[in-house]
Amino acid sequence: MLRLLGGILSALLITQSAYAQSQFLFMGTGSVTGIYYPTGNALCRILEQSDYGRQLTCSAESSGGSIDNIDALGRKELDLAIVQSDIQWRSFFGQAEFTNQGPNVELRSLFSLYPETFSLLVRSDSGIESLADLYGRSLNIGPEGSGQHATSLLMLDALNISSERFASLKQYKPDEQARALCNERVDGIVYVVGHPNTSLREATTMCETRLISLYDQQVNTIIDRFPFFTRASIPELIYANNANAVNTFGVAATMVTTAQLPEEQAYAFVAAIFEQLEYLKSLHPALGQLSATKMLEDGLSAPLHPGALRYYRERGWID
């Protein structure tokens, strides 16, 4: 009996010791109906299933979006965050909504993910053919704190379009706006997402809707004003009632952290992801075009974290 009790106590001590050595990361994502949330869960699952998962695990937390994630990183409530590349740029340089905080010198990049496009959706029977046709009507640009909201305001600023040109700028959440559009509580809704997108697909099947292209001149003006944006398009036929490709602009979803994250943790997280990159690409259509080259280049304004940089140098991807 004493030998049995001794064995049980030893096992408990080993378990407690292993638990104490295990380190936990919290990752900010976005709405549960968007792509950030399942992407974050996929990344955490890959980490936990890797050799590094014995000492390092993570949890993907839903959030209000990119700006909320940046703020939570600053408050040390998160260790990792998925944010739009334009939000990363503005935070690092202390621009726009981050002017009062000043440059975020603690922000660090880990890698880029997939492209996200500005996507403007209207009802098919609305008679709306262009952005200008929404003047005098209501447009949903999403809640404050979301990348959707921030990108929409930058687009209007670049095109010198005052908010007064619209009857109202609504702030429905991503999981609310499709119903608001179909119930005619709003005339247009904005997504800034990777494609195909579950929420946008729902919006195109809940009622007859279609995506609206921006003119080439508008896209050029936006990119000239804010060079962190890039020209983009939404492929034809991936949504109901949308037979033609859509001309627009976009950003990249990026993974960031702060300089406070220990180098070994950043290295382990990045290594786990890139060692299972092909598996990651299979988890969602938006991730299907990932490549190591683009993940190290697209939309990264903040310096690479030393842990990520060490891994990339070991792989020969960076000098």
Task: Report residue 21's pLDDT band, with 50, 70 and 90 as the boundaries.
Answer: low
Residue 270: exposure state from Cβ atoms within 10 A (0-12, 13-18, ≥19): buried
- Residue 166, helix vs strand vs coil: coil
Rounded to the nearest 10°, the torsion over CA 236, 183, 67, 234 is: 0
User: Position of tokens 């809707």?
Assistant: 209
Task: Compute the distance between CA of residue 100 and CA of residue 60 in angstroms, rounded to an integer.
Answer: 29
The pLDDT value given to residue 1 = 45
Task: Compute the distance between CA of residue 308 and CA of residue 130 in angstroms, rounded to an integer.
Answer: 43
Residues of the chain with CATH 3.40.190.10: 23-114+253-314, 116-251
The pLDDT value given to residue 194 = 86
Q: What is the mean pLDDT of residues 274-295?
A: 91
Task: Compute the distance between CA of residue 277 and CA of residue 43 in angstroms, rounded to an integer.
Answer: 10
Q: What is the mean pLDDT of residues 255-264?
A: 98
- Kindly report the CA angle at 142 between 128 and 256, in degrees rounded to 5? 125
Q: At what angle do helices 147-158 and 85-93 cross, to 10 degrees?
A: 80
The pLDDT value given to residue 14 = 38
Task: Compute the distance between CA of residue 139 and CA of residue 185 in angstroms, rounded to an integer.
Answer: 10
Q: What is the mean pLDDT of residues 1-8?
A: 43
pTM to 2 decimals? Answer: 0.79
Q: What is the mean pLDDT of residues 179-195?
A: 94
User: Position of tokens 């209000």?
Assistant: 64
Q: What is the mean pLDDT of residues 153-181?
A: 95
Task: Compute the distance between CA of residue 226 and CA of residue 20 in angstroms, rounded to an integer.
Answer: 46
> What is the tens place of the pLDDT at every residue in 24-39?
999 999 988 888 999 9
Q: What is the mean pLDDT of residues 123-144?
A: 96
> What is the tens place of the pLDDT at every residue in 202-249?
889 999 999 999 999 999 999 999 888 888 889 898 898 899 999 999
Task: For domain 116-251, say whether CATH 3.40.190.10 is its number.
Answer: yes
Give residue 270's Cα distance to chain centre: 17
The pLDDT value given to residue 17 = 41
Task: Compute the distance between CA of residue 150 and CA of residue 228 in angstroms, rounded to an integer.
Answer: 13
For the segment(s) 23-114+253-314, the CATH number from 3.30.1370.60, 1.10.630.10, 3.40.190.10, 3.90.79.10 is 3.40.190.10
The pLDDT value given to residue 94 = 96
Q: Which of 193-207, 269-283, 284-298 has the highest mean pLDDT?
A: 269-283
